[in-house]
Amino acid sequence: MAIEHVGNQRYSTTAQGQTTYQNADAYRVVNVNLNYVPTQWQQAEVFGGVKNLFNTQVDKVLGSDPGPFVHAGVRVYF
């Protein structure tokens, strides 16, 4: 499990030659990852996880409010 913290951010927008500065609030995202390496076949790894487990809302003006999502896969080492 990992907790990702992003502090307060300051961003700017420019329209018609005028720059405006604003702030985006800090946020924390909890991510959970698991992996398993079978004892019979050590060249493979099965993995998966959930990003943004608790659906932390990110300031939409930053353009990234991912919501929770699940990922999974298999790695094979040669």
List the chain pLDDT tens, one digit each, 78 residues: 899 898 888 888 899 999 999 888 888 999 999 999 999 988 999 999 999 999 988 877 776 667 899 999 999 999
Distances (CA, A) of 61 to 9, 20, 58, 73, 74: 11, 13, 9, 32, 35
Q: Which two tokens stand for residue 43?
A: 């060249």
9-15 vs 69-76, strand pairing mode: unpaired
